[in-house]
Structure 1
Amino acid sequence: MNKLMLIMVLIMWFCFGVRAIPLHPKQVDELKATGEFERVMKIVHSAKLRGLDAPQRKTINIMKDNGAERVTGSWKALIILVEFPDNLANKVAHDQAYYNTFFFSENVVSTKSVREYYQEVSNNLFDLTGSIAGWYMMPQNYSYYTNGEYGFGQYPNNAQKLVEDAIAAADPDVDFSQFDNNKDGYVDALFVIHAGPEGAGGGGWAIWSHAWAIAPKYYDGVYVTGYSMEPETGKIGVYCHEFGHVLGLPDLYDYGYDSAGVGKFCLMAIGSYGGDVNHPETPVFMNPWCRYTLGWLEPTNVTENLIAEEIIWGAPSQDVYRVWTKGTVGPEYFLVENRRRSTSFDKYLPTDGILIYHIDEKIKNNDNQWHKLVDIEEASGRQHLDYFESYGDAGDYFPGASDKRVFNDESEPNSKNYLNKESFAAVFNISNALPTMTADIRVYSPARAPTNVNLENYGSGTQALMSWDLNNENINYHVFYGTSPVDMTNDFFTKERSVILKDLLQDTTYYAMVKATNGFEWSPDSAVVEAFIYDTLPGIPQNLKGESSVGEIRLKWQKVPGYDIKGYNVYYKDEY
């Protein structure tokens, strides 16, 4: 390896970030109760400064660079089993056959294997196979690698050194080149399974499951760098979560535990412990953004307003809608899915209904509870995920426990963008929770009542002039008028903003109002206006009489009653 290449791979190594399984809620409570939470967060923060939440080699990006649009096909993963002089594995209960079934079996395990999870979540676009190597005895005690810091300490007293020792031990038995699935010169999927239980939150002397990287090591013509590490006794939730990182997905929980991130609604957050956070053998599906990112889902980009659109449930849902202003494509948008409890991985979720996700791809993670990469728009408006009061409940769905059926710029929660400007995105008239739900979806500005409506007498006493101002992108109007303010019996449609009402009764008060449509919905009624209708042309003066005297003629007449006469024009001729 030349000097330039060495520098490049070392830079790559230091940029790779640790990504760890989230603490279980009970672990968070226990750490806070014992006063250990701050110490644990300092350990995590120290690792974060060394790239804890920085991007790993993103498999999906590498594949796209090579012309692929999605992570598909059959991948081979390598699983290396390791034990320690001071921490022996139960090799009888957990032999290679056990892990072969645990990872790669089909229709064998009632709660399903890692392979079956990825088959389902990818809509059968991705298949995981692989090989098991070990158990291998490590050259150091377990405590050497954990060092009271969960394996996140400084090299060599950390999990990175353990991985180096593991691949060195496996080298005589393994052809590492078999595990470069996309032929980019790197092993794609390496799991290192350590003896003993999961260490998250347990005092620092057991390894906290995570995905990270080592300085690239060259074996069999390929580099080994990225890996994930899990416990001997783990359930598939932790393995599926860490493999999500191998594929390039970020954590979607809050590393500081100031919020719950996306809570129990995604594998890449607390959903790795199941939809009730108590069934890690049944992790929930990835949310639509994760599946979209990996190319396993193509949302319908809404470019026109839709009425009573069917939103069909799937396990996981494929009928997902991308909703944003006028259908524009950019980093910020909403994803809308019909999420239901299934007999599969979503079976422990709290209820059924529409979930709405606010996406901002300018943000790289969910650490800021007020501006996340992926946020749940909680239908109840309580923001309990943001305040870390809950990991998600039935009130987060539409209509859900709060019977919320409207999501728009004025609702709570609202559809404004992160600059607090109207997006005009709306999902409303949401049906009851069913396998096929319906909703109106809007991406154009809403219909708003015309303003500055005016009505005035016009012409010969049988007409009135009505006008109003444009209010938003209205394209058609419905005018109502009559002699009663509560029962306007006449109406017509127009595209104009100034109209003449005809065939009115003289000496009568008329009332009028107007509503507008944007082609999708009608606005509320405008203000009601009124005008008194009379003949604006005065009648002919009556009883005209003339009296002459020297040098003048004096004219007299009677004015027509009912008119406010301002003056007269008199015409005469001095000869006939």
Structure 2
Amino acid sequence: MSVFAGSYKMANIVCFVKFADEADKAWEHDFDYYDNMFNSTEEGANSVRNFFSDMSYGSMDWESTILPFEYVDSHPVGYFLPKGNSNPDGYTDLDLMLDTRIKTLVKDMCLFLDEKLASYDFNGDGFIDENDKIVVDANGDGEVDNIVMIICGDSDKSASRMLWPSNNRGATAYLGGVKVGNYLKVFDGANGYKSMVPQKINTGVLCHEMTHTLGAYDLYTTKENANSTLEPVNVWDLMSDNQTVPQGLTAYMRMQYGSPFGGWLPRTDIKEISQNGRYTLRPLSSETPDDVAFIIRPDRTRAEYFMVEYRDRNDMWDSSLPAGGMLVYRVNPLVTQTGNLGKDFELYVFRPNSNAGTSAGLIKRATLGTDTRRTSFGHIDDNDYPFYSDGTRAYFCITDVEETAEGISFSYSTDITGSSAVTEIDADLIPDGKIYTLQGIRINRITSTGIYIIDGKKVFVRK
């Protein structure tokens, strides 16, 4: 896709950083490698610029300026490691919380860059003039759009440490006379470890951290979260579990966080399903955003709603997904300032065997379609169904899912019993007898719409 003409412009300044005692350490790659990783516009190139163009349906162009010199900080690497008997100059918990040491590094780095850029013939014409000024605020909001610091070497071993890939704000720093906004750090050698294998710098970690600059929060959980084992999103969104070739952002994340930056997928352009019928989704990776997602709001008194989209593994960005097909997930617009880091999730992907959200279930089989051989979700005969954050069932079902040349088609209905043998009855007509919930708990009366066991039979009761 990668269409740049007329796109919303963003700037990204990339600086190479070393610590005082590692000034002689070699970089993993040459300059051209990093430039291509950020800026290549070749069709099919795994670059940061192509990724954001494709996620935005060509409406945003995030171009990077790779600075041709490196900043060597005045502090050794130990200054950015935890304080201890063998490292008395290391940081304290307060330093970590306030990010004071990295903020100072950013300030000192920008002073160095301003001095270097003032005397650098950037365009190579033999003169130093206005034409050599780099663009730092392409969108004109009064802040440097984004700074990426590539630190030579490896990250620490834990996300709780200072030397870990992250995106922050708050440095008292200016570049080219413009206040610094978001700055992020990644590492040349290792950006965390998977099965003890260092994750060298890649577009996955870069695009994840740069998406934070757009306002998106993490969609993974942490061990401090009471719901940390539930895997609300897992691999289905870049902001949850980034791959080395970044997987795509869900339609919701494009709508919520991308739309202010050129109108990626405006909320008003996403159709809302309200009538029973047959619908077709186009792949989320299509060149235009028409019909790539639908919104479902079965209970308009609730803030939470549901979305569906079609993920196609033939797309380069989604080729690493465990399965293609139709994804169904819940959105909680009340927690957009915490993502999935709190007890309530901003985005939750439905999957088999989740036991109404009390276990992780089979998250890798979340899609409906050919790959998972799942063609129904939410029907009374299905074991899995849509529910709200409080566990209440949402009364709609998706059936007869079928992949076609145009995309993926499905039937939507608010009648979850369909052709099932389950009886439907009005609450006022419930016969005398023993009433049980589906969990086998006996109750005296029915207070809400739902499925109950009455006289040994499943009954759908409308209250």
Of the candidates 243, 266, 273, which is equivalent to residue 210 of structure 2? Answer: 243
The count of residues paired between Structure 1 and Structure 2 equals: 372
**Map of 1:54 onto structure 2:** none
1:291 aligns with 2:254: yes
**Map of 2:32 onto structure 1:** 97
Post-superposition shift, 1:89? 6.5
Taking the TM superposition and a 5 Å limit, the aligned residue runs for 1:70-469 are 73-88=8-23, 94-107=29-42, 112-133=46-67, 134-147=69-82, 153=96, 158-174=101-117, 178-201=135-158, 204=161, 207-233=163-189, 234-256=201-223, 257-270=228-241, 272-273=242-243, 280=244, 282-293=245-256, 294-295=258-259, 296-298=264-266, 300-315=270-285, 318=289, 319-325=292-298, 328=300, 331-363=303-335, 364-368=338-342, 371-378=344-351, 380-382=352-354, 387=359, 392-393=363-364, 395-399=365-369, 401=372, 403-407=374-378, 411-431=382-402, 436-442=407-413, 449=424
CA distance in 2, matches of 1:242, 1:102: 15
Relative distance call for 1:300 and 1:443 in structure 2 (3 A) is farther
Post-superposition shift, 1:443? 5.7
Post-superposition shift, 1:179? 1.5
Post-superposition shift, 1:289? 1.2
Give 3-state SS (helix, strand or coil) of 1:261's partner. coil
Could you report, residue by residue, the CA deviation over 1:409-457 in whole angstroms, capped at 9, with x for unpaired residues?
Answer: 885432233344454333223225876221122368988846589xxxx
Q: Is the 8 A contact 2:221 2:341 kept in 1?
A: yes
Could you report, residue by residue, the CA deviation over 1:85-127 in whole angstroms, capped at 9, with x for unpaired residues?
Answer: 222465565444332222111228x751111111111111111
Could you report, residue by residue, the CA deviation over 1:156-190 in whole angstroms, capped at 9, with x for unpaired residues?
Answer: 76322222222122122348983223322211211
CA distance in 1, matches of 2:250, 2:71: 37
Q: Is the 8 A contact 1:324 1:424 kept in 2?
A: no
Relative distance call for 1:343 and 1:104 in structure 2 (3 A) is same
Q: Is the 8 A contact 2:110 2:173 kept in 1?
A: no
Letter in 1 for 2:411: D
Q: Is the 8 A contact 1:258 1:386 kept in 2?
A: no
Could you report, residue by residue, the CA deviation over 1:262-302 in whole angstroms, capped at 9, with x for unpaired residues?
Answer: 101111011x12xxxxxx1x110011111111122246332
Post-superposition shift, 1:303? 4.7
Q: Is the 8 A contact 2:378 2:416 kept in 1?
A: no
CA distance in 2, matches of 1:353, 1:287: 13
Could you report, residue by residue, the CA deviation over 1:343-369 in whole angstroms, capped at 9, with x for unpaired residues?
Answer: 411111111211101110112321346
Letter in 1 for 2:248: F
Relative distance call for 1:384 and 1:89 in structure 2 (3 A) is farther
Letter in 2 for 1:212: N
CA distance in 2, matches of 1:422, 1:439: 20
Letter in 1 for 2:250: N
Relative distance call for 1:389 and 1:368 in structure 2 (3 A) is farther
Q: Is the 8 A contact 1:186 1:225 kept in 2?
A: yes
CA distance in 1, matches of 2:150, 2:77: 13
Q: Is the 8 A contact 1:305 1:442 kept in 2?
A: yes
TM-score, normalisation: structure 2: 0.70
Percentage of identical aligned residues: 18
CA distance in 1, matches of 2:359, 2:163: 29
Q: Is the 8 A contact 1:332 1:359 kept in 2?
A: yes
Q: Is the 8 A contact 2:281 2:293 kept in 1?
A: yes
**Map of 1:537 onto structure 2:** none
CA distance in 1, matches of 2:240, 2:315: 21
Q: Is the 8 A contact 2:27 2:188 kept in 1?
A: no
Q: Is the 8 A contact 1:377 1:396 kept in 2?
A: yes
Give the alignment's Cα RMSD to 1 decimal: 3.7
Post-superposition shift, 1:219? 4.4
Relative distance call for 1:103 and 1:329 in structure 2 (3 A) is farther
Relative distance call for 1:162 and 1:150 in structure 2 (3 A) is farther
- The answer for unaligned runs of 5 or more in structure 1 is 1-70, 274-279, 454-471, 473-522, 525-576
Q: Is the 8 A contact 2:106 2:171 kept in 1?
A: no
CA distance in 2, matches of 1:402, 1:437: 13
CA distance in 1, matches of 2:355, 2:111: 49
Q: Is the 8 A contact 1:185 1:221 kept in 2?
A: no
**Map of 1:18 onto structure 2:** none
Q: Is the 8 A contact 2:282 2:310 kept in 1?
A: yes
Letter in 1 for 2:38: F
CA distance in 1, matches of 2:153, 2:399: 50
Relative distance call for 1:355 and 1:104 in structure 2 (3 A) is same
